[in-house]
Amino acid sequence: MTAQQLLDKLDALRLEGHNLSQLEVTYRRDYDSDIVDIVDLEEGYYDERTNKKLESITLITNNDED
């Protein structure tokens, strides 16, 4: 999934009348796994050649630093 596809899906929910500020974001690996809360989003990978072009974002389920 691209960030644009995610944004499009969120926008479709908004257009259906859902209040995005009231929706929790969760994650699960597949339909049979437990749901885990997403607590943050951060930059993921940058391109190998220049290390300047952001190529991914990462959803974080635990942002406690040990």
- What's the confidence (pLDDT) of residue 26? 96
pLDDT grade, residue 65 (50/70/90)?
confident
Region for 49 from its dihedrals, namely left if φ exceeds 0, alpha if ψ lies in -120 to 50, beta otherwise: alpha
Over residues 18-49, the pLDDT tens digits come to 999 999 999 999 999 999 999 999 999 999 99
- What's the confidence (pLDDT) of residue 8? 98
Q: What is the largest CA-CA distance in the chain?
A: 43
Asked if residue 63 has pLDDT above 90, the reply is no
Does the global pTM surpass 0.85?
Answer: no
> How far is the C-alpha of 18 from the C-alpha of 16, rounded, in Å?
6
Nearest to 62 by CA among 44, 46, 43, 42: 42
φ, ψ for residue 13, nearest 5 deg: -60, -45
